[in-house]
Structure 1
């Protein structure tokens, strides 16, 4: 199974084609269905770790953003630059990661 959509990776920051469907015609019964349609790359180890720490916080009943940043800090998980989480840094990170 592919970890990401290779076509999407090529399209990021590119100029859209003026020719509709060029090299992209789908033949019924021969369409490649991708599990990760919207991924342009495989997730990094940091992103995978981030998900696990978020899951742990949610399992503890965290539902508010401020409490989520507190939970991440209490777990010892820091952002990619090594800083503790704030509401602002969490929001910025979610925007950067595209979620």
Structure 2
């Protein structure tokens, strides 16, 4: 079997927020699908998403722990939001919620 970079069998999630009940929010029925490395990824990350991940790894590697510090360091690196605007705490939180990181 060839390993893919995303799960082609992943069903579209109908909720905007995960449920808080343990086990009620599983992605697929347990035991019906092979547990793939990229189980929750419905597509490969875009080039922008890859760059953001690399920038976040660098920022966290430099010791950033607080949201304000993460945002400031991303902006200092020139890693802005998808529209090219400097990050704010609000825009960063919104992006993380939509990207699922």
- TM-score by length of structure 2 reads 0.75
Q: Supply the distance in 1 between the matched residues of 2:65 and 2:100 (Cα, whole angstroms).
A: 20
> Is 2:96 the partner of 1:98?
no
| Larger fraction in helix | 1
What TM-score do you get using the length of structure 1 for normalisation?
0.77
Query: SS state of the match for residue 9, structure 2?
Result: helix
* Structure with max Cα Rg: 1
Instruction: Detail structure 1 runs of 4+ shifted over 2 Å in the superposition.
Output: none
Structure 1 residue 13, shift from structure 2 partner? 5.4
Matches of 1:75 and 1:2, distance apart in 2: 31
Q: Which runs of 5+ in 2 are unaligned?
A: 15-28
Are positions 1:6 and 2:8 aligned together? yes
1:81: which partner in 2? 83
Matched positions, count: 84
Structure 1 residue ranges without an equivalent (≥5):
15-20
Aligned CA-pair RMSD: 1.8
Counterparts of residues 1-99 of structure 1 (less than 5 Å): 1-8=3-10, 11-12=11-12, 26=32, 32-99=34-101
Higher relative contact order (CA 8 A, sep 6+): 1
